[in-house]
Structure formats: structure tokens, C-alpha cells
């Protein structure tokens, strides 16, 4: 019969050291009310038994939560999932666990339910993915007493925030397309988190600076398939350059353009945003803006830790996405 090994407990350490369990707990949490002799006995017992305190034991001993709440409008999309991965990896390295709460929509009842569910847990703090209207609405409902950090694509000074500067990247991508000789650049946007997101703002700013026509943007959903019909419309309108709100939408737009009998990039240049893992494998490989979402999550966790350690810490962290040039963009065939 296979023999099982029982995990070493704090009571085992106390018995080996010949002290009480509260004494061991005080040693583990660094409390001062332990004599040097007893502390030495406890430390020797810990080393001998190879005892590793559990996260639960640390919470009970320190009275401080080791759980970080993450509130998001979605967890399945590439950017959301990668950001959460970065948060979780950083949290784990610091001894924290992550609890994820999804907000179904920006409807008040959905927001209230999600925030209330998260707040039933003893959270050390909360990180909100402010990528969409549900995230924006949830951030506004976090109690003021709870340490909070927002992650998004545009700066908001109301709370500590880690940002990907989408506006600058979109401006640079649009300027690049204009520099290839395109007279203007059309835009297919994903649902914004507010009136206008940074990707649209940057696109508009670049056209305005260049004195180019600013066409009305096309509205896609979060589903890549929604880009197909838009791509067909763009092809019929003799468009030569398009900036899409993300890479999945760009893939749909390319499909629609090709279905309509036009070529990418020979007839229409298409740029995406995010640098999805499939972007370089798509045909043609997508020109895009590389967003390091995992690093965004890690930066957000660093800002939260600054609050939890009560050392003041930074309130803002920004990074500009890098432009990645691939095969889906080229000079227009008819300047």
C-alpha cells in the first residue's frame, strides 16, 4: 500500500520547537514580541521540518488579504487574456492569488452584480481592465476604500493607471500609410470604451496634421466576421488604405476585400492593431501596432503593489505600442 506524506503544519513546528502555535505565528510574521532564544528554536524547527507556510496561513497570521481582484468585460479576447496573464504571473511572484470577475455588460444591474460579487471577498486591491464600457462602468463603482488600478489605452487621472498609448501608435500607423502615397486612410473601429478611443483619435489626428480628407469611420463589432461586409463595401468604394481597430477585424476586412475581387496590398493596404499571434501568419502578413498586453498587466500589478506597501509609489505608467511593418501595406497602384 502506498504511504502518503502528511504536510507539515504550524502545529508540527511548534511541537518541535517546544513553543506555542501563536509564538510560531509571531515569528513567521516578524512580530517583535518573541525572545531571541525562542525565535532561534522556531527558525531551527522550520529549517529541519522544511516548513513552508500556506497563503491561507499568512492571511490569518497577518490579517492582510493575499487576493487581488481583476474585473473585466471579457476574458476570451486576445488583449484581455494576455493582460490577465501578466497580472497573474506578477501577482503569483509576489505571493498573491488572482480572482477574476466578468462584467456581462454596462447595464447598471450587471455592473452592480459583478462589483458586489467581487467585494464579498477579502481583497487586497482591484485591477480593472478599462478596455470597454463594462470596464469603465465597473471602475466607477469600486468603493473608495479599496486600492484600485485601471488598465487602458488612454490616460485617466482619476485613479492610478497603466496605459498603452494607442493614440500615438494609431497616429504613427496612419502617417506611415499616408507616407506611402495614399491620399487618405479609412478607419474601421471596434466598439469604443467611451465616445472615442485612442486608436480613432490618433487616426483622426494624423489625417488632420496632413491636411488629408477625414472619412467617416466604419463601425465593426468585436467579431472578426463583422469586418467582412465592411471590407466588401470598402472595395466597392475604391478605397486604397484602411486602418482597423484590431487585427481580427483587419483579417475580416481583408477577406471581404478579396471576396470583392480586389487585392491586398496591391489594390488596398490594410493595417491592424494589437499584433495578434496570427497576424504574422495571415496572408498577407499584417502590418500592425504591437501591444504588449502581458507587460501592461505586470505594470498594473506593480502600481497596485505600490499602494499596498504604502510607500507612495507611482500613479501612472505608459508605454507606446511599436509599429510592425509586414506585407499587407504598400504604395497605391494608382497614386
- Cα–Cα distance, 171 to 194 (Å, whole number): 19
Among residues 104, 101, 105, 112, the alpha carbon closest in space to that of 141 is found at 112
CATH architecture, domain defined by 166-291: 3-Layer(aba) Sandwich (3.40)
C-alpha cell belonging to residue 38: 525562542
Domain boundaries, the chain: 10-62, 67-164+292-321, 166-291
Element holding 164 (H helix, E strand): strand 161-164
Q: Write the CATH number of the domain with boundaries 10-62.
A: 1.10.260.40
CATH 3.30.1540.10 fits 67-164+292-321, yes or no: no
Instruction: Give the contacts of 104 (CB within 8 A, at least 6 positions apart).
Output: 110, 114, 134
Instruction: Give the contacts of 188 (CB within 8 A, at least 6 positions apart).
Output: 217, 218, 219, 220, 227, 230, 234, 242, 243, 244, 245, 249, 250, 253
- Cα–Cα distance, 13 to 34 (Å, whole number): 15
Q: Tens-of-pLDDT digits for all 335 residues of the chain?
A: 444 456 777 778 889 999 887 788 777 766 557 788 888 898 898 888 888 665 444 444 445 678 999 999 989 999 999 999 999 999 999 999 999 999 999 999 999 999 999 988 889 999 999 999 999 999 999 988 899 999 998 877 789 999 999 999 999 999 999 999 999 999 999 998 888 899 999 999 999 999 999 999 999 999 999 999 999 999 999 899 999 999 999 999 999 999 999 999 999 999 999 999 999 999 999 999 999 999 999 999 999 999 888 666 678 999 999 999 999 999 998 75
Same fold, 67-164+292-321 and 166-291: yes
Amino acid at each position: 500500500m502506498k504511504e502518503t506524506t502528511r504536510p507539515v503544519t504550524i502545529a508540527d513546528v511548534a511541537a518541535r520547537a517546544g513553543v506555542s502555535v501563536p509564538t510560531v505565528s509571531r515569528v513567521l510574521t516578524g512580530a517583535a514580541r518573541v525572545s531571541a532564544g525562542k525565535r532561534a528554536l522556531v527558525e531551527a524547527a522550520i529549517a529541519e521540518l522544511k516548513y513552508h507556510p500556506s497563503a491561507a496561513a499568512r492571511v490569518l497570521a497577518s490579517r492582510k488579504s493575499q487576493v487581488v481582484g481583476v474585473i473585466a468585460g471579457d476574458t476570451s479576447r486576445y488583449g484581455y487574456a494576455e493582460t490577465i496573464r501578466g497580472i497573474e504571473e506578477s501577482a503569483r511572484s509576489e505571493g498573491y492569488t488572482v480572482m477574476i470577475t466578468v462584467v456581462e455588460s454596462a447595464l447598471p444591474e450587471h455592473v452592480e452584480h459583478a462589483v458586489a460579487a467581487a467585494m464579498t471577498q477579502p481583497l487586497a486591491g482591484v485591477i480593472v481592465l478599462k478596455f470597454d464600457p463594462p470596464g469603465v462602468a465597473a471602475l466607477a463603482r469600486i468603493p473608495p476604500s479599496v486600492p484600485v488600478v485601471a488598465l487602458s489605452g488612454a490616460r485617466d487621472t482619476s485613479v492610478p493607471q497603466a496605459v498603452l498609448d494607442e493614440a500615438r501608435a494609431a497616429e504613427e500607423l496612419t502617417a506611415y500609410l499616408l507616407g506611402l502615397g495614399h491620399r487618405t486612410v479609412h478607419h474601421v473601429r471596434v466598439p469604443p470604451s467611451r465616445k472615442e478611443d485612442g486608436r480613432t483619435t490618433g487616426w483622426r489626428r494624423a489625417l488632420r496634421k496632413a491636411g488629408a480628407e477625414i472619412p467617416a469611420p466604419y463601425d465593426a463589432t468585436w467579431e472578426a466576421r463583422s469586418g467582412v461586409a465592411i471590407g466588401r463595401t470598402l472595395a466597392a468604394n475604391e478605397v486604397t488604405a484602411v486602418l482597423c481597430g484590431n487585427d481580427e477585424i483587419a483579417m475580416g476586412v481583408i477577406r471581404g476585400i478579396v471576396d470583392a475581387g480586389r487585392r491586398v496590398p496591391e489594390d488596398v493596404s490594410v493595417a491592424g492593431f494589437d499584433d495578434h499571434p496570427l497576424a504574422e501568419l495571415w496572408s498577407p502578413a499584417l502590418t500592425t501596432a504591437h501591444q504588449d498586453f502581458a507587460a501592461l498587466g505586470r505594470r498594473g500589478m506593480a502600481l497596485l503593489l505600490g499602494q499596498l506597501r504604502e510607500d507612495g509609489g507611482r500613479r501612472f505608467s505608459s508605454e507606446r505600442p511599436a509599429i510592425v511593418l509586414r506585407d499587407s501595406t504598400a504604395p497605391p497602384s494608382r497614386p
